[in-house]
Amino acid sequence: MRYNSTRNSGADVSAAAAIARGISPEGGLYVPADMPRLSDADFDALRGADYAGRARLILSRFLTDFTDGEIADSVAGAYTGGRFDDDQPAPLVQLEKGVHILELWHGPTCAFKDLALQILPHLLTRSAKKMGDGKKTVILVATSGDTGKAALEGFKDVPDTEILVFYPEDGVSPMQKLQMTTQEGANVFVAAIRGNFDDAQTGVKKIFTDPAVGEKLAAHNMAFSSANSINWGRLVPQVVYYVSAYCDLVNQGADLSDGFDVVVPTGNFGNILAAYYAKCMGVPIARLVCASNANNVLTDFLTTGTYDRNRQFYTTISPSMDILVSSNLERLLYHMTGRDDKKVSGWMQALSDTGRYTVDGDIADRLRELFWAGCCDDTETKAVIREVYEKKGYLCDTHTAVAVGVYEKYKQQTGSGRPAVIASTASPFKFAASVLDALAPDKAQGSEFEMVDKLHEATGWKIPGPLAGLKGRTVRFDTDCEREHMLDVVYNRLGIR
Ligand SMILES: *Cc1c(COP(=O)(O)O)cnc(C)c1O
C-alpha cells in the first residue's frame, strides 16, 4: 500500500514515511493510494476475533511495510494489559432497540482519542526506525482538550521522542486542563496559547511546513511529526472500531438488511472520516450522520456545498468540537473528486485566503447522499443529557449528547428505520460540571472534583480511575504564550537557539 498527498497525487510514499512525517512537505495530508476491500472470509475471521485480533487484520491491510510481528507487538502494547477497562476498548451498548452506543472512552484519558493515541507511539517509533535516519522525533500537538492528554499519555517516556502540546487557554474544560498540566514524564511539555483551537492548529501546521525550521531541527538531529489526526497513524486505528462495531452487531443478531447508520460528534472530521474508510472497505454503513455543536460549519457545508469559516466562534459545553477549520475534510474531498490534487489545493488555498470555498455541484450532491448533517446548541444538548438519563438511565457526556440529539433530528426528518451506531466519545465525568448542570442545575457548583463526586452520587455511575487519580496532583506546567511565539516556546524547550 502506497500513500499520496491530497495536494500532490504524484507523491508516492510508504506507510512508515506517511506516519513518520505526519504531513506532506507541500502541506497536504497523506491518503492511501487505493482502498483495501474486506472479503467474506475476512469478515468471518473478524467476527470471531477479539478487539486486538480485529485491529491486527485491519492495520495489516494499510501498513503493508510493517511485518506481522511489528503490527502484533504494536496492537498488544496498545490494547491489552489493562490499558482499557476489561481489555475492551470499544464496547457496544444498546440504548434502545436498534440504537447502539459505541463507548470509546474506556482508556487512560477517558476520551476516544486513546483508541488511536495508545497505538500511535508504537507505530511512529517503528516508522521512524524504518526511515532509518536515527533522528529524535519531536511531536507537536495542537489540542482542543482531549488529543493533548491522550498524546501525552501515549508518548510519555517513549525513548527518542519529545512531545509538546499547545492548548487554547480558555478553550478547554477544567478537567482537561488539569489532566494536561499535571502530566508526568521526562519528555513532555505543555503550554497554553492565547487564542482558540484553530489558532493553535494553524500555528502548529505553520511550524511543521516551514522549511527553515525543518532544517534547523535536522541540524540538531531532530525531526517533527504530528500526533493530530492529520497524521495517517491516527486515522487507521480509528477504522478498526467501526469494523468492530459492525462485527458486534452481526454477532448480536441485528437486522442489517439495509445496512446501518453511524452517528459521530464531529470536530476535526477525523472520527467520521474513519467511518467513511470503514464503509469503503465494505462495512455496510448506509449513512454517515455528522453531528456538530453551535460551531456548525460542517452542517452548512454538507447541506450546501459551501464551506465558510467567516462566522462567529462559540465556546460551548462540548469544547472538543469547537472548531471552524476541520482538517480531515481535505482527505474526503480528495477521494470525492477522484484524487484531483489541483482542485483540492485550490479550495484549501481559497480557505486560507478568503475563509471559504464552494465545491462542484455534483460533489455537493454526492456528499448529501453519503452524509446527513445536523447540529445542537448547548440548550438542546443539556436537554438531551437529561432526557436520555431520565428515560433510559444512560449518562452521556456533552459531546455524545450532541450526537444523540442530532440522531433524533435525523430520524424525525428522514424516517430512517435502520439500526444506528452512535459514537460516544468521552466519559461523562470528564465534563462533570456541564453534565451535572443538565441533570440537576441546583447541585452544579463547587470545585471540579466536588462536581465529579456529586455526579457520582446523583447517578451511581462509577468515577473512572484516571480522573479520580488526578486529585491532589501537582501542576507541572504553567507556561502560556501568544500564538506568534509558539516557535520560541518550541526552540526553548528543545534547547535550540
Ligand atoms: C476530539 C473529540 C471529538 C471530535 O472528533 P474529531 O475526530 O476531531 O471530529 C468529539 N468528541 C470528543 C470528546 C473529542 O475528544
What band does 290 get if pLDDT is binned at 50, 70 and 90? Answer: very high
Mutate which of 29, 101, 112 for ligand 1 pocket (most atoms within 8 A of beta carbon): 112
Query: For 335-362, how does the pLDDT look when each residue is reduced to its tens digit (9 = 90+)?
Result: 999 999 999 999 999 999 999 999 999 9
| CA 221 to ligand 1 centroid distance, Å | 33
Mean pLDDT, to the nearest integer, of 218-225? 93
Alpha carbons 52 and 162: distance in angstroms, whole number:
28
| Neighbouring-strand partners of residue 225 | 139
What band does 497 get if pLDDT is binned at 50, 70 and 90? Answer: confident
If we measure between CA atoms, which residue out of 104, 98, 112, 116 comes closest to residue 421?
Answer: 98
- pLDDT of amino acid 121: 94
Evaluate whether 122 touches 63 at the Cβ level (below 8 Å). no
- pLDDT of amino acid 269: 97
* Ligand 1 binding pocket includes 103 (Cβ within 6 Å): no
- pLDDT of amino acid 164: 97
Count how many Cα atoms sit within 13 Å of the Cα of residue 301 in the half-sphere of its side chain: 26
With a CB cutoff of 8 Å and minimum separation 6, the contacts of 75 are: 52, 55, 56, 59, 119
Grid coordinates 440504537 are at which residue? Answer: 99
Alpha carbons 73 and 76: distance in angstroms, whole number:
5
| CA 325 to ligand 1 centroid distance, Å | 13
Grid coordinates 495508545 are at which residue? Answer: 118
Mean pLDDT, to the nearest integer, of 299-320? 96
Atom of ligand 1 nearest to the CA of 105: 13
- pLDDT of amino acid 299: 98
Mean pLDDT, to the nearest integer, of 288-312? 98
Mean pLDDT, to the nearest integer, of 456-481? 94
- pLDDT of amino acid 132: 81
Mean pLDDT, to the nearest integer, of 2-24? 96
- pLDDT of amino acid 329: 98
High-pLDDT (> 90) share of the chain, %: 92
What band does 383 get if pLDDT is binned at 50, 70 and 90? Answer: very high
Q: Which amino acid, one-letter code, is at 340?
A: D
| CA 424 to ligand 1 centroid distance, Å | 10
C-alpha cell at 43: 469478515
* Residue 197 pLDDT exceeds 90: no
* Residue 133 pLDDT exceeds 80: no
- pLDDT of amino acid 446: 93
Question: Which of these ranges, 28-32, 168-172, 395-399, has the smallest mean pLDDT?
Answer: 168-172
* Ligand 1 binding pocket includes 153 (Cβ within 6 Å): no
Atom of ligand 1 nearest to the CA of 426: 13
* Ligand 1 binding pocket includes 267 (Cβ within 6 Å): yes
Query: For 235-247, how does the pLDDT look when each residue is reduced to its tens digit (9 = 90+)?
Result: 999 999 999 999 9
Nearest CA to ligand 1 atom 2: 320
Q: Which helix (H) or strand (E) holds 142?
A: strand 136-142
What band does 234 get if pLDDT is binned at 50, 70 and 90? Answer: very high
Report the Cα 38 to chain-centroid distance in Å. Answer: 24
C-alpha cell at 462: 462509577
Atom of ligand 1 nearest to the CA of 266: 9
Q: Which amino acid, one-letter code, is at 153?
A: E
* Ligand 1 binding pocket includes 242 (Cβ within 6 Å): no
With a CB cutoff of 8 Å and minimum separation 6, the contacts of 266 are: 272, 290, 291, 292, 298, 321, 326
* Ligand 1 binding pocket includes 428 (Cβ within 6 Å): no
DSSP conformational letter for 428: G
Alpha carbons 12 and 5: distance in angstroms, whole number:
8
Count how many Cα atoms sit within 13 Å of the Cα of residue 2 in the half-sphere of its side chain: 8
pTM of the shown model:
0.95
- pLDDT of amino acid 335: 97
* Ligand 1 binding pocket includes 175 (Cβ within 6 Å): no
Query: For 262-275, how does the pLDDT look when each residue is reduced to its tens digit (9 = 90+)?
Result: 999 999 999 999 99
Q: Which residues are catalytic?
A: 113
